[in-house]
Structure 1
């Protein structure tokens, strides 16, 4: 465990998000210098930091795989002791999964940080940023989220509330090494099965994709609709990779448990087990990269 008796050098990669926003004509928008103004009072003794901004700063709703690749480039190039990535909460689970999937053998901690209210408004921002800074001194190598007084493994994040300060929990995930370390230009998406889903809609979506994560029912079941089943077979036959995860947050999939799931596995759909949809997306994307 590292202490503050020696100088600790941090990279703070500021992507955007609520934490650094100020009121604007159309609502909250990124504010110049907001993050930097808060750092001196929150930074532990013996710590130096370098702040790098995304240009322009972005709402996390606009995060793309190219942005994950930039984060990965900066993490791997950093010669200091830790990296903090300041990020909006809406796609925090996707970025946590993406970085965890692409960086299975990290030599340093990467701490994600965001907030539900901006800095200097009396909300959660100072507490979360302060936790990220202190956790950078003590956390083991890996990708983490500093939020609401807890340090959570970032691979299995779930945003459980759209307003509360305690907005995240983490579902334990297994380690799965990936040969690819960056996200290539592929067409990948998450699709949910639902009662009455038109087969033509599923077929049309799959036709546009190189791969898809299917959110299926329970322990791994789906509707007994010949047209839906044919759409899955046809997609896989042309090279579209499909990976199934459960619509339930816990428990995962159990192939062969129910006859209603046989069509999934006979079509060649991959078993995502207990993966969150976000982690399944990241792993499938890396497998296609």
Structure 2
């Protein structure tokens, strides 16, 4: 029996082709994808295509689009064995992270992929990314999906969605997962690292939780930054500070006063690292103690994309018991390493 995979095309380079008369890229009718890639007809899965009415550049993908995708997967969850989302590369890690939190109790694969070159380009990476992603989206063993989480496939590597980040705008190997092992590699054989795969609690049933709040601000600190800038900002419910190293910031009274006033106004402060690898360790250095003093939340070794979308999902979400801080510090979908 062929597994059924729903392919959701949102936009991005993977769905474009070059007009050789003008030299410009233009979107093609994605419902004709089987003509563009006839190899899809040879796959051991049945693919249904659902394109966005208007293909979007990934820079236009945001909370409303995440809700549309999550809602569509929720409505079609029982009809398909796996889901593949084609997406522009610039914000794909944000969408993958957001969906990982919005899709609770997932027991089926949700794979995101895209490409650096259009599908019609002679040197395109689109075909391999698309075809192998379909394999992973339909990979079952003993009637159970091998991948039961939101993952991102790119250039022979399957990564946990909420651990991924785009690090290159030029190379085919554009994504990394610096704080977590790859879930699988594609070579002569399709490899899966079983021990690295995420599994939801057995008691947790699937549901699409569409709650997303946009009262979240992300700010990267830098030497010489004027903390008075925060006084000019409208009141925010969550401020994610990307601090130095393992969580250090300027050791001044002004820093302490500014952060204290933010907390007193009701703003939650989350601290993540500017380093690609490693994470936050409040108290390791004296210049991080201020975060403990004001009751800031450690982002541990989460990526910035994961911390942002997790905060957006948890903030004022009535479907979670406990405080924002308590839920944020929990490892909900494999976004935090055990040693943190």
Fold equivalence (TM over 0.5) = yes
1:266 is the counterpart of 2:293: yes
Change in 2 beyond 3 A, CA 1:184/1:99: closer
Choose from 51, 68, 71 the match for 2:69. 71
Give the whole-Å Cα distance in 2 for the aligned partners of 1:202 and 1:264: 16
Which segments of 5 or more consecutive residues in structure 2 lack a partner in the other structure?
A: 140-145, 181-195, 318-340
How far did residue 226 of structure 1 move?
2.8
Give the whole-Å Cα distance in 2 for the aligned partners of 1:259 and 1:283: 28
Give the whole-Å Cα distance in 2 for the aligned partners of 1:8 and 1:75: 16
> Aligned residue for 1:192?
220
Change in 2 beyond 3 A, CA 1:110/1:180: closer
How far did residue 104 of structure 1 move?
4.2
Choose from 27, 32, 41 the match for 2:29. 32
Change in 2 beyond 3 A, CA 1:39/1:74: farther
Give the whole-Å Cα distance in 1 for the aligned partners of 2:176 and 2:41: 25
> Aligned residue for 2:105?
105
How far did residue 81 of structure 1 move?
0.2
**1:87–1:113 Cα contact (<8 Å) kept:** yes
**1:66–1:183 Cα contact (<8 Å) kept:** no
Give the whole-Å Cα distance in 2 for the aligned partners of 1:256 and 1:28: 51
> Aligned residue for 1:216?
243
Q: TM-score, normalised by structure 2?
A: 0.77
Pairing 1:1-289 to 2, within 5 Å after superposition? 6-23=1-18, 27-33=24-30, 35-78=33-76, 79-122=79-122, 123-138=124-139, 139-172=146-179, 181-205=209-233, 207-288=234-315, 289=317
With 209-218 and 108-117 compared, the bigger mean Cα shift is at 209-218
Which segments of 5 or more consecutive residues in structure 1 lack a partner in the other structure?
A: 1-5
Aligned residues: 283
Change in 2 beyond 3 A, CA 1:161/1:75: same
Change in 2 beyond 3 A, CA 1:26/1:62: farther
How far did residue 208 of structure 1 move?
4.3
